[in-house]
Structure 1
Amino acid sequence: MSLTDFTAPWWFLLLLAVAALVAGYVLVQKTRRRRTLRFTNLELLERVAPKRQNTLRHIPAAALVLALVLLTIAMAGPTAEQRIPRNRATVLLVIDVSLSMEATDVAPTRLDAAKVAAKSFAQGLTPGVNLGLITFAGTATVLVAPTTDRAGVGKAIDNLKLAQSTATGEAIYAALQSIDGFSSVVSGPEGPPPARIVLMSDGKQTIPTESEDDPRGSFTAARAAAERDIPITTISFGTDDGVVEIEGRTQSVAVDDAAMEEIATLSGGDFYKAATAEQLRKVYDTLGEQIGYEIKRADASRPWLILGTILALLSAAGSLVFSQRLP
């Protein structure tokens, strides 16, 4: 701990007064001892100032000095890093509802497992976080604009329906647009609240068909998010063994980890892989901790104040017991 960890370090100048009190106390004790030694009767000296009493009577004074030191530290305003709930933030939860989410490689299905985990994530976020919900398949749909109402988000998650195709880039652009609209309304003197996109998908982009670097592709959208300082946390959900029945034909729907990781990298976000419902739940729990809380330096003077006060009271009580007067 250094002086920079205190909000008012100049209060430490009071320690000079404490040191002066200690010096004065020592001087008084030496003077008192010299006066006592003037007695020539050693038996009477032992009765007046026994050695055991001389030792014990210093305890209240020592406790008082320590109490003054602790109270001085408290007044100097010590701070410490503390985990504090965010009071303003915007999160867009973007969920893939393409037909590949019907695969049963994650029981009971990818979509059902995703619903459970996403609802848990929404309910666990701290109250100060505004959460929105977007789903995407061939197009992106804003189901819930950013809000602190978790009930509406949970109900929308329960009603998720599957559709064809995977337009990942469109989903990211829809999230960015939703964040911009919300930020323009709630922006204050400190600027808009920090924002993040949480993108969960199990497959490769199919719209546009050219590449992820297409003007409306997922990689281009990720770069646009980076320019606005909005990181994208991606969750690649599923396994390489997933299959679905589409129009009577069995099709492989393996996850595309590489594309999801690249989206996170381009946007300055984080990449997670979840191959089971339990892994997905743990990923969402981790994100809830990261998004819902922040580490800040906050006031930490209370423990010092409590200890200082207790020691001052003990000092007063001890002085009455050992020396019959306040030190």
Structure 2
Amino acid sequence: MLLANPWWLLGLLVVAGLIGLYVYIQRKRTSRAMKFANLEILKTVTPKRTDRFRHVPFALLAVGLILLTVALAGPQADRKVPRNRATVMLVMDVSRSMNATDVAPSRIKAAQAAAKKFATELTEGINLGLISFAGTPTTLVSPTPDHNATKDAVDKLQLDDKTATGEGIFAALDQIRTLNSLLGGDKGAPPAHIVLLSDGKQTVPESQDAPRGAFSAARKAKERGVPVSTISFGTQSGAVEIEGERIPVPVDDASLKKISQLAAPGGRFFTASSLEELNAVYSSLQEQIGYETTRGENSHPWVLAGTILALLGAVGALVLNQRLP
């Protein structure tokens, strides 16, 4: 346990002194009582009730004082608090492979439902934006605390040819930089996070290490300190019908995992092969992105417990001993 003012713990020496004084007084009292020459007379002048609980009130008071002393030392605790002004860019693949039905009712329909749920549950105050990409990226919603704008835009996603994953990431980085410039520059900018959902391998450009490729975009995200969490959505058995031909469209876990690893620390790689799994992924991201852990004062429980015990000790002393300890 971390303490803001540990020197207050020296007060425990005072509590220890009070305990020692109490023990000393009790022994002296017993010693004086034993000086009676006639034990029969002693029995008649001492209370007949049992006194085995007579030390309980002082014990409660002593423990209460210990807890209050610890409270004065300022105990610290980690707690989750909602992020304010953070930026989240949701980047969604709308290539024609997203029309595969290996995820019911289809990859794109399930992805839309999960994205809307994510936008609904995302912590208030976070700037949420939406980018779709196939052969080229399209910024549907610039980062805004109005999450309803993203939910409305998700319903309007349209499938198209090709998959330019890198372009989608670069577009998200541009939106983050634009917002940061409006908020006073990158130096004091709020934290940002990219969430990339895709189901297949990049097709444009051919190499992911090309200047506009996915791996190059991930490295640029690392330069700017932006983590990228990737979601591989679908199964290895996915396929789509194009002009009467059945074309396999298996998910590409390897490249999506590498994207999250190449970007700034803090991003994670997820897989999902159903709407339920995708919702679980988004819930996990909501916990990670929507809240941050901060350390703050946690003296209230100690003050509450110490005060209650001290009061119980005082009441017990009056009831059992007819006097305060």
Deviation (angstroms), 1:84: 2.8
C-alpha distance in structure 1 between counterparts of 2:51 and 2:12, whole Å: 26
Contact 1:187-1:193 within 8 A present in 2 as well = no
Match in the other structure for 1:185: 182
Q: Is residue 240 from structure 1 mapped to residue 236 from structure 2 by the alignment? A: yes
Matches within 5 A, 1:221-240: 221-240=217-236
Letter in 2 for 1:66: V
Residues 48 and 293 of structure 1, relative CA distance in 2, 3 Å threshold = farther
Deviations 1:160-217 (A, max 9, x none): 1112221111111110011111122235998211111110111221222x31111111
Give the Cα–Cα distance (whole angstroms) in 2 for the partners of residues 301 and 42 of structure 1: 51
- 2:253 aligned partner: 257
The reply on whether 1:295 has 2:298 as its aligned counterpart is no
Q: Which residue in 1 is equivalent to 2:145?
A: 148
Shift of 1:247: 4.0
Displacement of 1:60: 1.3
17, 20, 27: which one aligns with 1:20: 17
In structure 2, distance between residues paired with 1:229 and 1:89:
13
State whether residues 53 and 322 of structure 1, in contact with CA within 8 Å, keep that contact through their aligned partners in structure 2.
Answer: no
- TM-score, length basis structure 1: 0.92
Q: How many residues align?
A: 323
Asked whether the 8 Å contact 1:103–1:243 carries over to 2, the reply is yes
Q: Which residue is equivalent to 2:30?
A: 33
Q: CA RMSD in A?
A: 2.1
Report the counterpart of residue 62 of structure 1 in structure 2.
59
User: Does residue 213 in structure 1 map to residue 209 in structure 2?
Assistant: yes
Decide which moves more: 106-115 or 24-33. 24-33
Identity over the aligned pairs, expressed in percent? 56
Instruction: For residue 285 of structure 1, give the secondary structure of its aligned residue in structure 2.
Output: helix
Contact kept in structure 1, 2:238 and 2:249, CA below 8 Å = yes
1:36 Cα deviation after fit: 2.7
Alignment deviations for residues 91-139 of structure 1 (CA, whole Å, 9 cap, x no partner):
1100011111111121111100000111111111111422111111121
- Give unmatched runs, 5+ long, in structure 2: none
Q: Distance in 2 between matches of 1:233 and 1:245?
A: 30
Runs (5+) with no aligned partner, structure 1: none
Structure 1 range deviating more: 43-52 or 218-227: 43-52
Equivalent in 74, 85, 110 of residue 77 of structure 1: 74
Partner of 2:116: 119
Residue number in structure 2 paired with 1:133? 130
Shift of residue 154 of structure 1? 0.7
In the superposition, relative to structure 1, how do residues 310 and 253 fare at CA in structure 2: closer, same or farther (>3 Å)? same
**1:284 paired residue number:** 282
- What's the counterpart of residue 46 of structure 2? 49
TM-score (norm 2): 0.92
Whichever residue aligns with residue 206 of structure 1, its letter is T
Question: How many angstroms does 1:51 deviate by?
Answer: 8.0
